[in-house]
Amino acid sequence: MPRACRYTTDVREDTGPTTPDAAGREGGVRLALVAGTTATAEIDGLSAAGADPRVMRHTPGADLDILVHGEPTIAPVVPVSPTGCPTPAVVTRAVRDLIGFDVLGVDAGIAGPTGAPTIPLGADPGRDVRDGRAVPTAGAIFDRARDVGRALPDEHLVVSETIPGGTTTALGVLTALGEPATVSSSLPENPLGQKRRVVDRALAASDLAAGDAAGDPLRAVAAVGDPVLAAATGLTVGCVESGTRVTLGGGTQLAAVAGLVRHLGVDAPLSLATTSFVADDGTAGIETLADRFDVDLHVTDPQLAAADHPATDAYLRGEAKEGAGMGGALRLFADSGVPTAALHDRIETVYDRLLADRAEGP
């Protein structure tokens, strides 16, 4: 059975009640942005989710600010890649401006300040996975996030992430679970070899061999994961336990969340909504992961070539690709019937507002 559906943002489909409800009343869709940090991101060359490690630690707080307020308010940076590609939060916010959906900020170890309200999970920033004890409180974070997920009254939750370095920790978890060890990258050239070396060191430090944590996913997260993986997994499990439909909105990190959920024995239907940039990244193996974890894969192409703007050109060069709910938001947008040209215009508006009156560094 083919599981991957491919959309462009101009195609409207009837896929049931995903109509957003901006006031967040029951029956609507909400986008949860699970935000955190890991010291793993400070390893040179792994991530492009910020101009340098000093700035990168502020990316999750800034992404939350952008989704909630339209721009960084208290977060001291505008997250851009070393080559100037703006955070995918710009695209998610542009979609929100156009179709309206509530955002649920979740603090899974934010390191810097943010002006966005968040649900606290008591999570500290994740440690460098090379220590082999990346998230000592993974179980507690999972439990709290599951309680939040169980309690949400929404019909449909899009679960997304912002954590620089997150594909490396996702690779660690997939490896520890014995699953296909492929992940995407925010860089045009995926440093997959370097990531694998980092993961090998992490596994060695945690006395785990590849596959040793199969069926024990929280052990995998505690050893070689990150706090966002623990939180997103708990949120997803809590939602499906209480009848809230979940779309995992992201790339290989959210695919890893699907893997963690499956290794907990939860077999509820799950969708994974990602961007065409992840799907077109041969190193990511997103279709393999989706198939392996029995999730319906939805790929949306925002047709950015037609936009021809600095806010979007970097995606065409293979940068960023996904994050901060971009793929999930694009899926909602594709269902909305709003023309793609309006999305391109709005992305430029959000981008211009971000860069108009802010310096890049803290």
Distance CA 32, CA 250 (A): 12
Which whole-number Å values give the CA distances from 180 to 172, 202, 252, 329, 350, in the listed order? Answer: 11, 17, 11, 26, 37
Residues in CB range of 45: below 8 A, 6 or more apart: 191, 194
65 vs 319, beta carbon nearer a second copy: 65
Q: Which is nearer to a second copy, 201 or 358 (CB)?
A: 358
Q: Shortest approach of a second copy to residue 184 CB, angstroms?
A: 28
User: Token digits for 76?
Assistant: 């001291």
Smallest separation, CB 150 to a second copy (Å): 9
Q: How far is CA 50 from the centre of its chain?
A: 15
Pick between residue 110 and residue 254 the one whose CB is nearest to a second copy: 110
Binding positions for a second copy, rule: CB under 8 A:
22-26, 68-71, 73-74, 96-97, 100-101, 104-106, 115-120, 147-148, 151-153, 353
Contacts of 219 (CB under 8 A, 6+ apart): 176, 208, 213
What span, in angstroms and rounded, lies between the C-alpha atoms of 357 and 361?
A: 12
Beta carbon nearer to a second copy, 99 or 295: 99
Of the pair 36, 191, the CB lying nearest a second copy is at: 36
* Least distance between a second copy and beta carbon 233 (Å): 18
CB of 183 to a second copy, least distance (A): 29
CB 330 within 8 A of CB 273: yes
Minimum CB separation of residue 274 from a second copy in Å reads 23
Nearer to a second copy, 115 or 188 (CB): 115
Question: 280: Cβ–Cβ under 8 A, 6 or more apart, which residues?
Answer: none
**At closest approach, how far in Å is the CB of 119 from a second copy?**
5
Name which of 120 and 136 has its Cβ closer to a second copy: 120
Q: How far is the CB of 76 from a second copy (least distance, A)?
A: 10
For residue 215, count other CB atoms closer than 10 A to its CB: 12
- Report the alpha-carbon distance of residue 356 to residue 159 in Å, rounded: 30
Identify the residue whose tokens are 């996904």: 322
CA dihedral 345, 349, 350, 351 (to 10 degrees): 100
